[in-house]
Amino acid sequence: MKRFARLFREIDGSTKTTVKVAALASYFQDAPDDDRLWTIALFSGRRPKRAITTTRLREWAAEKAGLPLWLLEECYPAVGDLAETIALLLPEPDAALDLSLTEWINRLRDLAQQPEETRKAIILDAWDKLDTTERFLFNKLITGGFRIGVSQKLMTRALSQATGKPEAELAHRLMGNWSPDDTNWHDLIESEDGSTDDSRPYPFYLAYALEDEPDALGSPEDWHAEWKWDGIRGQLILRGGEQYLWSRGEELITDTFPEFSRAKDFVPEGTVLDGEILVWNDGPEPFNALQKRLGRKTVSRKMLSDLPVVLYAYDLLELAGDDMRQRPLEDRRAKLATLFDQLPEEAPLRLSPRLPFAEWDELGDIRKTARDNRAEGLMLKRNDSPYLAGRKKGDWWKWKLAPLTIDAVMIYAQSGSGRRANLFTDFTFAVWNGNDLVPFTKAYSGLSDEEFRKITAWVRKNTQQRFGPVRQVTPEHVFEIAFEGIHASPRHKSGVALRFPRISRWRQDKPLQEANTLDDLKEMLAIYG
């Protein structure tokens, strides 16, 4: 744990990417294999299951520190992180125990089988033998909330420096449904064939947002354009006689969408498709239709009938077991089109069509019709581009429509978390319905730190009531709320729900009575819902 704590201090103590990469690379060169493997797992979101509830952890920490529980609770918002709060409040350790990261993780995982008194004794004993940084990391492992600001891209770069293997290869090796329980450092990182798992997806290629007009991209004839669909990104894999479906968040969602089990009947073995999962009823349905399918372990026959899904494919990553990613996009698309020409109509697959255009102005006119086509905007891809890993600037761009906006009144405020735990950053907004304000959405991002400080000072002086962490405030301030879509929702008092709402700006120039109305929202719903 001491080696891992030293790594954390080096990473946390600098904002420079080069320093973080160097620290990680050095760690990956010198640490024991099992610790290296667990470090990769932790930094890629593969955390051990929570061993202790945070309620018990708070109680035991207050007892160990000789503090009333209410005082620990008051300290927590000031620090912004429970693991750090506890680490800072505990008394100095009375001994030292130099166990490895893996040994501490195994101790925590064994706690699940122990009675509560035994678990408490083990946690208190560990706190007695760890310094402040080690306690902080230990507490993070207990709560299962392990995030310390290391992206997978940064970690892959460090691994490449430590092992000499290409970043793209390592990014692929780290994809999929592996854990330290079913693999080891050699098989995952060092073996000659690190991609023997038939279910393993490829790293997704991500586009940058195009902020300006596309004229600067060069000749239109060098570019491929298609709709940016409003579904969820997925990779459909046909290998070893089985089919696997992965989301962009590296979640295996095969069972959530059983329609794709039929893909084995239509698609050749050794094929990997990249595309968008959409509800399809004589055309793509809005995202809120797909939302009803997400997160379900089982899907009823009625839902399969009412909300059938398709994969709208736009890239071919593997064909007959051959990795196609380094071939130009136009070659991959040509083979994808040939493959789809052979599919019967009942296959749960569609080919995302190319949008032909000769001039950028012509494409701009096409983009204006995106919402009419159930799309968020356009994707622009250079014809000769390979399929890369992660977000790379230059070859793939997303040219989205400007968001929808509405002016709303803030009526509730709640503190944030982390470094913003002492600020009010989470707000509930309302629109007018006659003389009443009807809440319709929550939003928390979009303001500068200075604006958050100003609104926090105002909230503290203008609180009408408190409901736990939530404060009802005097209706006074108008904010412009941006969002990507709107749909009917009987669960909300307003009858509508927004997609990706966020604060666009604080309308300090706008009086309260000039905020939008519920009728305005319903008019938007009629047009865009």
Report the distance separating Cα 456 and Cα 389, nearest Å: 41
Report the distance separating Cα 28 and Cα 10, nearest Å: 14
Residue-wise over 343-372: b if at least 16 C-beta within 10 A, else e? beeebbbbbbeebebeebeebeeebeebbe
Write the DSSP string, 297-347.
Answer: SS--HHHHHHS-EEEEEEEEEEETTEE-TTS-HHHHHHHHHHHHHTS-TTS
- Cα–Cα distances in angstroms (integers) from residue 295 to residues 46, 225, 278, 300, in the given order: 19, 31, 15, 13
> Which residues is 68 bridged to in the sheet?
none
Is residue 483 within 8 Å of residue 498, measured between CB atoms? Answer: yes
Domain 205-400: give its CATH code.
3.30.470.30
Of 3.30.360.10, 3.40.50.720, 2.40.50.140, 3.40.220.10, which CATH number belongs to 404-528? 2.40.50.140
What is the 8-class DSSP label of residue 292?
T
Report the distance separating Cα 139 and Cα 145, nearest Å: 9
Q: What is the pLDDT of residue 288?
A: 84
Q: What is the pLDDT of residue 46?
A: 81
Q: What is the pLDDT of residue 361?
A: 95
> Which residues is 400 bridged to in the sheet?
377
> Which residues is 405 bridged to in the sheet?
482
**Which long-range contacts does 496-500 make (Cβ < 8 Å, 24+ apart)?**
496/440, 496/521, 496/522, 496/525, 496/529, 497/288, 497/441, 498/440, 498/441, 499/287, 499/288, 500/403
Residue 344, both tokens: 């019967």
Where do we find the tokens 């730190």? 449
Mapping DSSP onto H, E and C, the string for 482-510 reads EECEEEECCCCCCCEEEECCEEEEECCCC
Range(s) for CATH 2.40.50.140 in the chain? Answer: 404-528
pLDDT in tens, 508-522: 989 999 999 999 999
Which residues in the chain show pLDDT less than 70? 144-149, 193-196, 418-419
E strand segments, 342-483:
349-351, 375-382, 390-391, 396-400, 404-415, 424-433, 436-443, 463-467, 470-473, 478-483
**φ, ψ of residue 93 in degrees (nearest 5):** -65, 150
- Our CA angle for 136, 140, 144, nearest 5°, is 175
Q: Collapse the DSSP code of 467 into the 3-class scheme (helix H, G, I; strand E, B; otherwise coil) and give the result.
A: strand
Other C-beta atoms lying within 10 Å of the C-beta of residue 454: 14
Q: Collapse the DSSP code of 408 into the 3-class scheme (helix H, G, I; strand E, B; otherwise coil) and give the result.
A: strand
Catalytic residue (choose from 20, 120, 228, 381): 228
Residue 365, both tokens: 């006119």
Q: What is the pLDDT of residue 299?
A: 85
Is residue 202 within 8 Å of residue 386, measured between CB atoms? Answer: no
pLDDT in tens, 446-479: 888 899 999 999 999 999 998 878 999 999 999 9
Residue of 81, 452, 278 lying closest to 460 (CA atoms)? 452
Which is it for the CA torsion 183, 184, 187, 189, positive or negative? positive
Report the distance separating Cα 520 and Cα 529, nearest Å: 13
The model's pTM? 0.78
Q: What is the pLDDT of residue 48?
A: 79
Residue type, 111: L
Residue 287's Cβ-side half-sphere holds a number of Cα atoms within 13 Å equal to 18
Which is it for the CA torsion 298, 302, 303, 304, positive or negative? positive
Where do we find the tokens 């667990």? 38
Is the CATH number 1.10.3260.10 carried by domain 2-143? yes
Interacting residues of 395 by C-beta distance below 8 A, sequence separation 6+? 381, 382, 385, 386, 388
Residue of 143, 140, 169 lying closest to 156 (CA atoms)? 169
Write the DSSP string, 13-30.
Answer: T---HHHHHHHHHHHHHH
Range(s) for CATH 1.10.3260.10 in the chain? Answer: 2-143
Range(s) for CATH 3.30.470.30 in the chain? Answer: 205-400
Q: Is 228 an active-site residue?
A: yes
Residue of 356, 355, 353, 348 lying closest to 336 (CA atoms)? 353
Is residue 5 within 8 Å of residue 137, measured between CB atoms? Answer: yes
Is residue 3 within 8 Å of residue 134, measured between CB atoms? Answer: no
